[in-house]
Amino acid sequence: MKNKTTWYVALFLLVCTALSAQKKVGTKSGNITFEASMPSFEEVEAINENVSAILNMETGEFASLALIKGFRFKRALMEEHFNENYMESHTYPKAVFKGSIDGFISEALSSSEQRFVVIGKMTIHGIEKEISIPIYVTRLEEGIQLTTKFTLLPEDFGIEIPSVVSNKIADEVVVEAHYILK
Amino acid sequence: MQRKHFLIGLTTVSIAFVTCTYFYLFQNHRNIAKETPTITMEASDLLRSFQDFPNHEVLNKTVQVSGLISDIEANAITLNKSVYCVFSEMPSNLKLEETITIKGRCVGYDELFEQVQMDQCIQINR
């Protein structure tokens, strides 16, 4: 009798693990690009192709993390200045978003793009800010695709652009992100 | 005569200055494949050291790690479920559970997956 109970408990736990493993999807190879170029000046643009993200399919909770040193620029010097002078990536090595997709129902997702709003906290350069941004969700064969585009202000995150270069760097930074979660 | 010398000097200095500025502004990216690793260790040890000190001294340094391949993706592998290694050029014939040594740049600690991330990796041996 006791043996049987143990078996049931074990089976129950196994089913639970299987179910809970099902409800989260993630990736370690999401893409984030940002651009802060000014017309007629050299492009200020970088890409990070190893952004990680996790989405809880039941609750719509979403988290994403980009390592600052993973942003690659065309020009090595620009990358160095970005890391050392602006982002201080040795002290603040990551940018993190933690939030939740408003009104997310995984069963309602389809192969046509749906617009949601994701609300949460963005932490960049050690400073946390509440933001809400539109996010487009599509169910593809490869997984759940998320895309978003939004603007950020460096000053909101305590990032100072010296006046010498301020005419070469836009006030608003356009960020684009793309993930395929599996 | 003196004026001629002065002009030659000025031209040389200006050329040198312009050349230096050019090379400073348009310097090349680091070539991780050619750099000597700052540190050589086991994948799980690298993870452990990051979990102890998040702003670890190996950040942005060239690191050589070895471990068992626990996951293979399109252009990346995971060693001992601890270090995520992104290749510039993915080696062929990699197999799960195989021991491998790779060299790459340490990008940082990913707390979502609890793994250390490395990029521009190359395979050292098997």
Instruction: Tell me if B84 and A67 make a contact (CB, 8 A cut-off).
Output: no
A122: part of which helix (H) or strand (E)?
strand A114-124
Give the total number of structural domains in chain A: 1
Of A30-39, A42-51, A163-172, the poorest mean pLDDT is in A163-172
Burial class (CB in 10 A: 0-12, 13-18, 19+), A161: middle
Is residue A89 assigned to a domain? Answer: yes
Instruction: Tell me if B107 and A49 make a contact (CB, 8 A cut-off).
Output: no
Is residue B90 assigned to a domain? Answer: yes
Residue A121 maps to which CATH number? Answer: 2.40.128.110
pLDDT band per the 50, 70, 90 thresholds, residue A13: low
- Strand-pair partners of A46: A34, A73
* Predicted local distance difference test score (pLDDT) of residue A10: 66
User: For a pLDDT cut of 70, what percent of chain A falls above it?
Assistant: 89
Q: What residues of B are in the A interface, CB distance below 8 Å?
A: 24-30, 54-55, 59-60, 73-76, 84, 86, 105, 107-113, 115, 117, 119
Q: How many CB atoms lie within 10 A of CB A16?
A: 10
Residue B83 maps to which CATH number? Answer: 2.40.50.140
pLDDT band per the 50, 70, 90 thresholds, residue A35: very high
With an 8 Å Cβ cutoff, is A52 touching chain B? yes
Is residue A100 assigned to a domain? Answer: yes
Chain A residues close to B107, C-beta within 8 Å:
50, 67, 69-70
* Average pLDDT over every residue of A67-92: 96
Is residue B108 assigned to a domain? Answer: yes
* Dihedral over Cα of A50, B84, B114, B50: its sign: negative
Q: Which two three-digit tokens encode residue A16?
A: 């639970």
Is residue A4 assigned to a domain? Answer: no
pLDDT band per the 50, 70, 90 thresholds, residue A164: confident
User: For a pLDDT cut of 90, what percent of chain A falls above it?
Assistant: 83
Is residue B23 assigned to a domain? Answer: no
Q: Between B24 and A47, where is the model more confident?
A: A47
Is residue B65 assigned to a domain? Answer: yes
* Predicted local distance difference test score (pLDDT) of residue A18: 54
Q: By residue range, what is the domain housing residue A108? A: 23-181
Is residue B11 assigned to a domain? Answer: no
* Beta strands at B83-87 and B39-42: parallel, antiparallel or unpaired: unpaired
Of A18-22, A29-33, B66-70, the poorest mean pLDDT is in A18-22
pLDDT in tens, A84-133: 999 999 999 999 999 999 999 999 999 999 999 999 999 999 999 999 99
Please say whether the beta carbons of B85 and B118 come within 8 A: yes
Q: By residue range, what is the domain housing residue B93? A: 32-125
* Predicted local distance difference test score (pLDDT) of residue A162: 86
Instruction: Tell me if A50 and B76 make a contact (CB, 8 A cut-off).
Output: yes
Considering only the beta carbons, identify the residue of A54, A76, A93 that sits closest to B108.
A93
Please say whether the beta carbons of B110 and B84 come within 8 A: yes
What would you measure as the largest C-alpha separation in chain A, in angstroms? 80
Q: Is the pLDDT of residue A20 over 60?
A: no
Is residue A131 assigned to a domain? Answer: yes
Give the total number of structural domains in chain B: 1
